[in-house]
Structure 1
Amino acid sequence: MKILVFLSIVALSSAKSLLENEFHHFLAEQDILLQDPPQNIQAKQISTPTPRADDQFFTCPLKCICRVRVVQCSDAELKSVPAKIPKDTVMLDLQNNKITEIKEDDLKNLTSLYALYLVNNKITKIHPKAFRSMTHLKLLYLSWNLLPRIPINLPASLLELRIDENKIKKIQKGDFKGMKFLHVLEISGNVFDTTDIEPHAFDGVLRLIYLRMSYGKLSSIPKNLPSNLYELYLDHNRISSIQRKDFQRYKDLYRLDLSYNQIKEIENGSLVYLANLRQIHLENNAVKNVPASIKELKYLQTLYLHNNNISKIEIDDFCPKEMKIKKLHYYGISLFGNPVKHWEIQPASFRCVSGAHGVQLGNFKK
């Protein structure tokens, strides 16, 4: 019985909106799948009553598909949030429509909602009280809309917020008020600069481990982000240099992406604070030398430096003189697309690289 219900849900919920793996995981976490009945209970005791035409519990909005507390209304040419959404809905999919506004009472009865998907609409306004009844909302996807700012009074229960590719011009104090459970924030593709992030904008955000601010207009490394970040993505911005104290606050970083910027200068000692760093992306910049702090990162395993202006590799650029300082060997170092003459590089320069294929040099073509 479990398998049949599961397959029917997937079949009716595959309209190019959610990643299949995420959807399966969501159903499993929320216990949406029906369980097989105990063997000692007769079938008539667990039979589902036939819904009546006037029973609001079984009412499904026009142009939507409703199955087992999941309401899917994607790609339906909707211009507003549909009425009469079942009150016990845990997942509401409104992606790929023409919704322009979320009004005060559009979602007021959805107290059990866990996931709300509003990706790829034309939303310019969300009422400050639109989420007032959502005490269990964990996933909120607002990407590819026209929002000019972070919505006011977002649910404090959120674990994941994706609001990339909007028109956000500023991140203000209070935007994330009370969101102490937030783990993932995707805010790429907006128009704010580093100076548009107010000093206390992230006060109270205690558990954020993944932050992506890619494809934006950042001109420098933001210094007032949550200190417990695990992954930070600042690729495809306008950052031109890395200063000594830029990463002083982010000592827990495991993965850092600064690729596709305009970085020419990396000040000595600027990366030394990243003691736990395992992976760093610096490719597609204008870096002239291997950053001096690289050899001091004892846990660093993957380093991307391709497509820069590096013309020389020194024997101690990657590996410390005392090998015991390096706790983990490199898995990979990419250097192709640089004007370095690879035949002049001393083999000992890569003495702390694991494996014969751990270094990628390639040919430089101007």
Structure 2
Amino acid sequence: MHLLYALLVLLSLSNGFSLNCPGRCSCDSVHSVQCYRLMELPFGIPPTTKRLYISHSKIHHLQQSNFTGMLALEEFILLASGTESVENDTFKTLNTLKTLELWKNKLRRVPSALPASLEVLKLNDNSIYALYQSDFEGLKKLKVLELNNNLISSLSPSMLSTLVSLQSLMVDGNNIESVAGPLNLPHLKHMSMENNKLHLISDTLFTSLQSLQFLSFSGNFLTKIPINLPKSLLSLKMERNQLKVVRFRDVKHLENLSHLYLSENFLSSIDGAQLLANLTTLEVSQNQLQMLPLRLPVRLQKLDCSSNLIQSVTARDFQDLQDLKHLFLDNNIVSLFEAGALQRCSQLSNLALEQNLLLSIPLRLPKTLARLDLKGNAIQDIAERELKDLKQLQVLNLRNNKLSALDLRALEGLPRLRHLYLDGNPWNCTCSLLRAREVLKAKGTDVRGGQCAAPAERQGESWMSSKKITRQCEPQLHSTETKKKLKPEDASSTKVSPDDDDYDYEID
């Protein structure tokens, strides 16, 4: 019997399992322990444990004795456990600790005397109200510091001066009103200060941030883009501020900038973005633009001008944008769309024009379109000439327009059409309409229809599912032409979400 027990112990150790796992814990191996719903840190955690994860518990206080014997601990995560305080020097002797995460607790300050081995410190969603230089002393290996959603009101260079290896600094959702400089963080690549109360950014803040690539000041009260931004910047987020004008001459030195986000500001015009020669994404939705941005960079691939006051689209607006793939013009007041306005956009695959004032489908759209969204306009009919060249089109959304009939010839010329949205239109439910529906379904198109507006005896019925209408039109629906099948060579391998209100525009 004793021999059998000894064999079981040896077998468990060789497979990485511990027979003495604390209650409410899962010891998946001698290196990882996970615990839930505890009242205190458990005793008996294997001394070889490298990762200790505790969540949704009621551990109000941490002290040094809790970690006695954990000489191999590299990662400690305490999540949503109501922790209010940490005894001084609690983590000081954990010389192997690399990651410390104390998320969603009630801490009022950064734990003291953190070990020099620390590389990742995440204290998000606590009640920390102030930072001190002593909080980070000796942390020369720290690469990631996250303090999102606390009560911090100030951030000064002296607080972070010892973090010589820091690569990511996140202080979103605090009460910071201004930031002085310079920040001496030579290896910092990612800095985010979203959703604070920033009114002022020091001109010297970025002097020593020559490795910075991703910067976000979204959700503040800034009235201008900070000057003296580092040339290394790849992405700049300035959404939800109080910008009224963008002076591109102040940022023209950003030769590597590829993504610029300016949505939800007070911009009435944009001119001169061509100075950012390598810009590929420009988002300016929810502003007050009355016309499309002038002089855009030729490498632009995505332009989002949705939810503005744009009235017209002309060829001049897009004459140099041959790399443009995604264009969002939804929720404007576009009534004029010049024929062939986008023809030079030879890679355009997604065009969003929903919720505008269009009376017809724009003519001579790019042959590369995979998705065309025209929901919520005033389109009365579909003409063959409008769609004849769109051989790559997979999704066509015509919901909530003024269509009463379908031109089958126009739709038959779309060999890759997979999703057609037609509901919310005043349909005249004749047998020819149902015949068109059956032809589309037979070739593999998912057709979403709507209710009949005419004739009077069919008003309110669904022309997609009404058995009565189907019986009346049965002779035509069983004609030989409705039995056409989609040819294998016409099938598209690209998967597209059928939900038009929540789809991925990244269609290959």
Same fold by TM-score greater than 0.5: yes
Letter in 2 for 1:348: R
Largest Rg, 1 or 2: 2
After alignment, is 173-182 or 111-120 more displaced? 173-182
CA 1:226–1:62 in 2, change beyond 3 Å: closer, same or farther?
same
CA 1:9–1:285 in 2, change beyond 3 Å: closer, same or farther?
farther
Deviation at 1:84, TM superposition (A): 2.8
Counterparts in 2 of 1:187-336, with a 5 A limit? 187-194=262-269, 197-199=270-272, 201-203=273-275, 205-294=276-365, 297-320=366-389, 328-336=391-399
The normalised TM-score by structure 1 is: 0.78
Letter in 1 for 2:175: K
Map of 2:475 onto structure 1: none
Number of equivalent positions: 317
CA 1:53–1:301 in 2, change beyond 3 Å: closer, same or farther?
closer
Map of 2:225 onto structure 1: 150
| Cα distance between partner residues in 1 of 2:266 and 2:388 | 39
Map of 1:104 onto structure 2: 181
Pair 1:88-2:165 in alignment? yes
Letter in 1 for 2:335: K
CA 1:189–1:269 in 2, change beyond 3 Å: closer, same or farther?
same
CA 1:202–1:275 in 2, change beyond 3 Å: closer, same or farther?
closer
3-state SS of the aligned residue for 1:284? coil
Contact 2:281/2:303 (8 A) holds in 1:
yes
CA 1:310–1:183 in 2, change beyond 3 Å: closer, same or farther?
same
Give unpaired runs (5+ residues) of structure 1: 15-46, 321-325
| Cα distance between partner residues in 2 of 1:301 and 1:119 | 35
Deviation at 1:281, TM superposition (A): 0.2
| Cα distance between partner residues in 1 of 2:203 and 2:299 | 29
Map of 2:254 onto structure 1: 179
Q: Deviations over 1:178-223 (max 9, x none)?
A: 21111111110111112xx343x541x2221111000101101112
CA 1:330–1:95 in 2, change beyond 3 Å: closer, same or farther?
same
CA 1:215–1:356 in 2, change beyond 3 Å: closer, same or farther?
closer
Deviation at 1:88, TM superposition (A): 1.5
Letter in 1 for 2:150: A
Contact 1:332/1:353 (8 A) holds in 2:
no
Deviation at 1:175, TM superposition (A): 2.6
Contact 2:197/2:220 (8 A) holds in 1:
yes
Map of 1:73 onto structure 2: 147
After alignment, is 252-261 or 308-317 more displaced? 308-317
Contact 2:396/2:417 (8 A) holds in 1:
no
Map of 1:135 onto structure 2: 210
CA 1:138–1:356 in 2, change beyond 3 Å: closer, same or farther?
closer
Contact 2:97/2:115 (8 A) holds in 1:
no
CA 1:55–1:302 in 2, change beyond 3 Å: closer, same or farther?
closer
Deviation at 1:89, TM superposition (A): 1.1
CA 1:359–1:9 in 2, change beyond 3 Å: closer, same or farther?
farther
Letter in 2 for 1:71: L
| Cα distance between partner residues in 2 of 1:72 and 1:243 | 46
| Cα distance between partner residues in 1 of 2:407 and 2:143 | 63
| Cα distance between partner residues in 1 of 2:78 and 2:328 | 38
Map of 1:165 onto structure 2: 240
Contact 1:330/1:358 (8 A) holds in 2:
no
Letter in 2 for 1:74: N
| Cα distance between partner residues in 1 of 2:383 and 2:197 | 53
| Cα distance between partner residues in 1 of 2:212 and 2:298 | 25
| Cα distance between partner residues in 2 of 1:90 and 1:248 | 40
Map of 1:361 onto structure 2: 422
Q: Deviations over 1:207-248 (max 9, x none)?
A: 211110001011011121211101110001000111231111
Deviation at 1:87, TM superposition (A): 2.2
Give unpaired runs (5+ residues) of structure 2: 1-30, 33-48, 54-73, 81-94, 99-111, 122-130, 427-452, 454-508
The normalised TM-score by structure 2 is: 0.57
Deviation at 1:359, TM superposition (A): 1.6
CA 1:132–1:364 in 2, change beyond 3 Å: closer, same or farther?
same
Q: Percent identity?
A: 26
Letter in 1 for 2:171: L
Q: Select the structure with the greater relative contact order (CA < 8 A; seq sep ≥ 6).
A: 1
Map of 2:479 onto structure 1: none
